[in-house]
Structure 1
Amino acid sequence: MLSGVDHLIARYPIDRERVGTTGHSYGGILTNWLITRYPDRFEAAVSGAGASNWTSNYALSDVARTKELEFLGPPWDPEAREIMIRQSAYLNSGGVQAATLFVHGEEDYRVPLEGSIQLYTSLKKQRVPTKLIIYEGMAHGIRGHWNNVHRMANELRWWDTYMKPANTVPVSDGQNH
């Protein structure tokens, strides 16, 4: 992943001080992992429906059986538990620097909300700029026109706040002020 980022930075006029990462579901999991493993590489992040703690995700997700395949067993197996701990963004979140927006459905049973709450709480306690938006009644995907307008406006505002160079025009939120 980072070799791809490095390739793009070397080839194109990209400001290496303003690189962000985003994703939903597995992309949210990867976003959480990247900001905890490479804290000096990303200026900002938007994580949508991303797990951050594999031991609690095992107990709460509606697809816990997949975790046994991914981590070679359940969390009570010492070897599997060690892998889960090593791969859990929340349990390795000390030192995160990326300003991070979390977006999650309240009723997500595939990747339960607790993963976003845990990592959000860790960043908040470390005084990293962070925000958590929970969509009431939503499952793994955010549905509905106005929910998506709200989500996209907040994501654009997040990028605008934490990634734009000083001489750019801010993104409008569509409201007259």
Structure 2
Amino acid sequence: PIDPGRVGSTGHSYGGILTNWLITRYPDRFKAAVPGAGASNWTSNYALSDVSRSKELEFLGPPWEPEAREVMIRQSAYLNSGGVQAATLFVHGEDDYRVPLEGSIQLYTSLKKQRVPTKLIIYEGMAHGGWGHWNNVHRMINELRWWETYLKPMGTVPVSDPN
């Protein structure tokens, strides 16, 4: 059976977008989350992403058109982030032009101001993917620690415990 008090979500790129969306749409279902390089605000993503034209297909036009703007606002995790409860670790490349860092910063700031446990790790000089071996090791260690902190049952031995 699934323990409803220990449900988490993670993903990178589109998986990061979905993780951001899930924790804002179902705030009481997720205990922890780790979105990687996930957009959270479609109106700013449109202006900053190197593939902004693809958003016109997804959202029925650019953000200055009322119908498209309405869809973008409704689908933006950041703009719907009130009440999020999931402890959230954001991981993002500093030079990500596909899904710009600003999206993670915006949602991180919202959660921080709401006093939700949150952390933002920015990989200096890194783009959307291919962060290099040691950055990936660093990311995985931090993700494991996050899961251990927020999802492990009380009294169990952490994976990172060498003893």
Q: TM (normalized to structure 2)?
A: 0.97
User: Is 2:13 aligned against 1:25?
Assistant: yes
- CA RMSD of superposed structures (Å): 1.2
Matched residues, number: 163
TM-score by length of 1: 0.90
Q: Which residue of 2 is the match for residue 96 of structure 1?
A: 84
Within-5 A mapping of 1:6-17: 13-17=1-5
Deviations 1:82-122 (A, max 9, x none): 00000000000000000000000000000000000000000
Rounded Cα–Cα distance in structure 2 between residues aligned with 1:16 and 1:34: 15
Percent identity over paired residues:
89
User: Structure 1 residue 57: deviation in Å?
Assistant: 0.1
- Which deviates further from its counterpart, 101-110 or 143-152? 143-152
Secondary structure at the residue paired with 1:150? helix
Q: Which residue type is aligned with residue 72 of structure 1?
A: L
Q: Which residue of 2 aligns with 1:61?
A: 49
SS of alignment partner, residue 52 of structure 1:
coil
In the TM superposition, residue 53 of structure 1 has moved relative to its aligned partner by: 0.2
Query: Take 1:142 and 1:101, find their aligned partners in 2: how far apart are those partners?
Result: 19
Cα distance in 1 between the residues matched to 2:3 and 2:159: 19
Q: Are 2:78 and 1:105 aligned?
A: no
Once the two structures are TM-superposed, the CA of residue 171 in structure 1 deviates from its matched residue by 2.3
Counterparts of 2:50 and 2:132, CA distance in 1: 23
Higher relative contact order (CA 8 A, sep 6+): 2
Do the aligned residues in 1 keep the contact of 2:123 with 2:131 (CA within 8 Å)? no
